Chains A and B, each alone.
Chain A
Amino acid sequence: MGQVVALSSLFEARQVWKGRAVSLPDSSQPTGWPALDEALPSGGWPEHAMTEILLPADGVGELQLVLPTLARLTREARSVMLITPPYLPYVPGWEARGVMMSHVDIVQAGERDVLWAAEQCLRSGSCAAVLAWPLQADDRALRRLQVAADTGKALAFVFRDRRHAAQASPAALRLELESEPSLQVRIRKCRGGQPPAGMLPLAAGWS
């Protein structure tokens, strides 16, 4: 064993640098869920980036997570694209939650064109948010979406099954929804900070 050196003396001599987390600028895209905003390092959705939402099953409350954001964007007359949603968006339900459907485009694409369409929409720069439900998406395809979201300065939301949780993902934010015993969300990865441990309960509402 060599000589024992006190850590504090190394710091004082400035021979060792300590890295500090760079604080992120605050996001201008609040999620509409105060508890979630608080837990996220930027205080909202990561801007110009992709958010991946992992689901245990369809219809557990994934739309409730994003509908406040979509309502805010469409009321600002900004465009939202839904790429191959798994079911029909039901207009009375969406409108009851404040979304203006005239600014929502529903794009029906074949299984192989989903990612292409999502990338085109993101890259165009004329959509505020793009929601996609790809069935097959590998790391490479998701990275393309992440880059496209950055180019087009748009919010990308990708909804995938929970079994993809083990895969690495280039998404800036990864959320996992749990429906048991009540709707709650776990932050699996977030850019600019350690993901908080534990689950955040979301007020599950059906009305």
Chain B
Amino acid sequence: MLWACVLLPQLALDGVLRRQPPTEAPLVLVSGPAQARVVHAANRSARAAGLYRGQRLTAAQALLSQFAMVEHDPEDEARWHRLLAAWAYRYSGEVGLLAHALVLEVSRSLNLFGPWPRFESLLRDDLKELGFRHRIALAPTPHAAYVLTGVHDGLAVMTPDTLRRALLPIPIARARLPDDAAQALPSMGIRTLGQLFALPRAGLQRRFGSELVAQLDRLAGDEPSPMENYRPPDTFEQRMEWTHEIEHVEALVFPLRRLTGDLSAYLAGRDGGVQRFELELEHRSGPPTRVTVGMLSAGRDAALLFECARGRMERLELSQPVVAMRLLARDLPPFVPAGRDLFDTRPTNAVPLEQLRERLRARLGEASIQHLRRTLDPRPELAQTTTAGVGATHAISLPRPTWLLHTPRPLRGPAPTILAGPERIETGWWDGGDLRRDYYVVRTAQGQCAWVFCAPGEQGGWMLHGWFA
């Protein structure tokens, strides 16, 4: 077994920062009771000004006159954590959640994603795209990987022997041991894991209880790590809220790109697609504005989802400023990737046909693209339909035009020359839409071939119904 650990040192802060386009303005997360507010996390420019985690807010305000403040929300942080677990599920079937970290079993994934250096760069690219800072390490046990990420970013330990050697110099304070042991051991002169491993187990167990010994065994791989496997949920829901109000649709484009990117990452993990999702724009008061984004077929490409959603969003008139946006996807049908023919003659940079259709639909309206198919109905008006289904395949040997008028209209001008006919169509008794007509092919004075009909038995009062164009 090989476990990769992805440590997310600034999960809460990254979760806040990714709501808006990257800026250099100082920003801090604050937490704690109202009387004793403390800095929970600070971004780079705030840290450069001397702000740090755990600092009193009053002290921070004395150091830096202006910075954006966001209330730290543990629930929000947990949501980002779960989202990343859903993303990691794409790479491994065994994903565990640890505090500020994810662990993935990767020994089997390596067959699919290539050797570890390539796999690692895949993970890093994805996380960078999603906007989360991270540290990654690989070790034969999940806890060892967890400990190693905290010490050395990018370390990869493949075998249990090298693992033991890699663990020896790690300071006790960073070995993620139970709290009481982590505090007491350095004062006893035990400063590294190597020294701790050398101590007699029975004594350690008497002094610190069985939890410490079990933890050491898990680190070295002598005992399996109890871990609950992550299972992705069946629906996707992600919400972003801002401290300020957004009045223009253009300002929603960046968060929208994030949300659709998250949806795409989640879908890739689940190997699913989405055909329909909802965007809810929440306002200070009143019901939220709902935008439903539907697609012709299930898709999961981040660019496609974003483009569809943006097309719908751009047509929106905001009546009130937006304070939060939520993306809901309940219906997640299986995703069937479009296959391309080896002998496909289209240019390689071609936009897939589905994406083209979505783009047209987004601008021209939902019903702007139609496919026509034949039905079994003999009435010319009902002989074709735009609804999906299996078309009729029987052959028609009678003359049929290529253009059909939406509604028949009188044929004006001099009397036409009859080329063929009559063909009587007398049907439709079953649904009240009876018709009784004699159809002729005629040639008009202008030289057009027309499909016309008249009352049975008469040869006049022509109604134009189609062109043999």
By a beta-carbon cutoff of 8 Å, the part of chain A in contact with chain B is: 56-64, 67, 78-79, 85-97, 101-102, 104-110, 113, 116-117, 120-121, 123-127, 152-153, 179-183, 204-207
Contact = CB atoms under 8 A, between A and B. Distances in A.
Contacts of B449: 59, 61, 204, 206
B356 A124 contact: yes
Given A107-B370, A126-B356, 12 more contacts: A67-B402, A87-B466, A91-B391, A92-B396, A93-B403, A96-B395, A104-B371, A106-B370, A107-B368, A108-B370, A109-B368, A206-B441
Contacts, number: 169
A206 B419 contact: yes
B403 A57 contact: no
B373 A181 contact: no
Contacts of A60: 446-448, 469
Interface in B383-415: 383-384, 391, 395-396, 399-406
A109 B347 CA distance: 26
A73 to B, nearest CB: 11
Contact of A57 (B351, B353, B363, B448): B448
B468 A206 contact: yes
Contact of A125 (B350, B371, B372, B395): B350
Interface in B348-375: 349-353, 355-357, 359-360, 363-364, 367-374
B360 A117 contact: yes
Given A58-B469, A125-B347, A63 B447 contact: no
B466 A93 contact: yes
A102 B400 contact: no
B401 A107 contact: no
Of the candidates B356, B359, B441, B447, the one having the most CB atoms from chain A within 10 angstroms of its own CB is B447
Contacts of A92: 374, 383-384, 396, 400
Per CB-CB distance, the 6 closest pairs between chain A and chain B, nearest first, are: A59-B467, A179-B447, A125-B350, A87-B403, A90-B404, A124-B351
B450 interface: yes
Contacts of B368: 107-109
Contacts of A205: 468
A126 B21 CA distance: 34
Chain B interface residue number, banded: 35 or more
A126 B346 contact: yes
A180 B446 contact: yes
Contacts of A117: 360, 364
B420 interface: yes
Interface in B279-298: none
Nearest to B468: A206
Contacts of A67: 402
Contact of B467 (A58, A91, A110, A181): A58
Contacts of B372: 88-89, 91, 101, 104, 106
A116 B360 CA distance: 9
Contacts of A206: 399, 401, 419-420, 441, 449, 468
B446 A179 contact: yes
Contacts of B346: 125-126, 153
Of the candidates A61, A90, A110, A126, the one having the most CB atoms from chain B within 10 angstroms of its own CB is A90
Given A89-B403, A93-B401, A124-B351, A106 B369 contact: yes
10 contacts: A88-B406, A93-B401, A93-B404, A93-B468, A105-B357, A106-B370, A125-B349, A206-B441, A206-B449, A207-B441
A106 B364 CA distance: 12
A96 B447 contact: no
A183 B449 CA distance: 10
Nearest to A86: B403
Contact of B371 (A61, A105, A124, A181): A105
